Structure 1
Amino acid sequence: MHQESKHIDILIADDEALARKRIVKFLSESNIDCSFTEASSGKEALTYINNQKIDLVFLDIKMTDMNGFELLKQLPEEKIPIIIFVTAFDVFAVQAFEVQAIDFLLKPYKKDRFYEALDRGLKQLKLEQHTIFQHKVSRLIESMQDIDHLESKNHIDTLVLKSKKKYYFLQVSDIKYIKSASYYAEIYTKTDERHVHRISMTDLIAKLDPTMFFRVNRSVIVHKSFIQEVISEGIGDYSVIMNDKVSFVLSKKYRYEFLKRMGIK
């Protein structure tokens, strides 16, 4: 990143302490002259923005007390700072950002992507494009016809995947199974495509519909609709056969829950 001479006051608004800690780490490792404040709720973030000089905000879309858009609706346009939205898997939000050409960080993001977003935010401040940005945010809020949609359900219908500089929207219903590959998930679709996504299996299964996606072992998640048969191998061992003939071992840890959900006694 290039050196900025002006001191920047930054607010990190996220209800997850680890997420805030990561941003603090990246800011501390940068060469910009900045001070930062942390807010663990939307209400706390609102107080800081209203009562302190805040130049730039890293704003998590989903916080426990309110989402980022609800927070912005409570601010007069002239009080809106430069904002870098932070979101995980929210297609609705991502599409809205793309339309308004507003920058965002899609969790889990890499260090380079963080600095890229930060650099853009700093350039907007430097070039005095603050008013233009405020108008963009106002249009974004107006375009949100159903803000409650962001909190309407606990699982996702679409997975946002990044390929180079493009975002690809994969329908979750098209996923046959997912295999773990170190820090990545290998996602296989019904059209035999393979996508690689940087996320842990634990984080990914938490986003998927629990009535349709089952973990069969530590390294594999399967979609119920694509299971062809479950074979008892004897002594309590089972194999899960998918409709493309790929077979997975059902491990002891996940056996009871899987068989129960599949209606196998």
Structure 2
Amino acid sequence: MKEPTPIKILIADDETLARKRIETFLEETSFPIILLQASNGKQTIDKILNDTPDLVFLDIKMTDMTGFDVLQQLPKESIPEIIFVTAFDTFAVQAFEVQALDFLLKPYKKARFLEALERGMLRVQQSQEHSFSEKVEELMKYISGNKPELGDTPAGYLDKIVLKSNKKYIFVATENVQYIKASGYYAEIFTHKGEKHLYRISMTELSQKLDPTSFSRVNRSAIVNRNFVKEVISEGLGDFSIVMTDQTAFPLSKTHKSTFLKQMGIRS
């Protein structure tokens, strides 16, 4: 019986322990593997071009460049199968989910790793290079803001937020988000139906991804969807408060007052 051809797998991660974790999981499988490693983006590019791995576990944020940078610097025909690895970039997770490119969200369990590995190995064995290249090309368009149908508005703003809950991914349409509150390292997202979700992202980063034709930062700790603003109350001495349709109230800070009032068609 002919021995199966070994599959070359590249682990690209700037953290030694992260590479070791994947290496250990791979060693516990029955797949015939040739293992390669890279600790930064430049090494990753060199390994892909010179050693031509079949499958790459690609970290999103390395010391010298991102996983996106790596893909953008490679000729399209040289890009192998990719399993993305990320610790916290949920916006990137959304791109991968919509594009059907697999990813591992740190910290991941062995079962989830094996699921991703088996999917990647199957793609390698089926030699789906053409369809994968098309997906990578679409992902590149998404990254550069030119993709209008991947869960973003034509201008590149989110039209849905992907939230991880245990083994599930929940999709919340931004048009249904009433307001967002800061909570430590998380953002608390409240929908018009009274649902509450936690999203690990800074308020500044999230505000940049929301369509300004609907969303406004009203103070350091709150973003509101103006479609759900019930009242704007003048408190005197130039102070204002905002009341939402569920009666939740927010103070309007001086930093954001002029812009918000203008957006609401109010002259202060």
When normalised by structure 1's length, the TM-score is 0.68
For residue 51 of structure 1, what is the amino acid of its counterpart? N
Distance 1:246 1:139, change over 3 A: same
- 1:179-218 alignment to 2 at 5 Å? 179-218=181-220
Structure 1 CA distance for aligned equivalents of residues 196 and 218 of structure 2? 19
Which residue of 2 is the match for residue 10 of structure 1? Answer: 11
Deviations 1:159-214 (A, max 9, x none): 11112211121111111001112222111111222122222212211111122211
2:182–2:188 Cα contact (<8 Å) kept: yes
2:56–2:80 Cα contact (<8 Å) kept: no
- 1:169-180 alignment to 2 at 5 Å? 169-180=171-182
Structure 2 CA distance for aligned equivalents of residues 121 and 171 of structure 1? 27
Which residue of 1 is the match for residue 56 of structure 2? Answer: 56
For residue 18 of structure 2, what is the amino acid of its counterpart? L
Distance 1:258 1:195, change over 3 A: same
Matched, 1:222 2:256: no
Alpha-carbon shift at residue 217 of structure 1 (Å): 1.4
Matched, 1:94 2:97: yes
SS of equivalent to 2:107: helix
Runs of 4+ in structure 1 deviating by more than 6 angstroms, as ranges, are 63-73, 122-125
Structure 2 CA distance for aligned equivalents of residues 69 and 138 of structure 1? 16
Which residue of 1 is the match for residue 31 of structure 2? Answer: none
Alpha-carbon shift at residue 215 of structure 1 (Å): 1.1
SS of equivalent to 1:95: helix
Matched, 1:113 2:108: yes
Greater RCO structure (CA 8 Å; 6+ sep):
1
Structure 2 CA distance for aligned equivalents of residues 75 and 36 of structure 1? 20
Identity %, equivalent residues: 33
Structure 2 stretches of 5 or more lacking a match? 1-7, 25-35, 147-154
What RMSD in Å do the two structures reach over aligned CA positions? Answer: 4.0
Which residue of 2 is the match for residue 104 of structure 1? Answer: 103
- 1:235-250 alignment to 2 at 5 Å? 235-250=237-252
Number of equivalenced pairs: 233
Alpha-carbon shift at residue 57 of structure 1 (Å): 3.5
Structure 1 stretches of 5 or more lacking a match? 1-6, 13-22
When normalised by structure 2's length, the TM-score is 0.67
2:58–2:67 Cα contact (<8 Å) kept: no
2:81–2:132 Cα contact (<8 Å) kept: no
Alpha-carbon shift at residue 82 of structure 1 (Å): 5.0
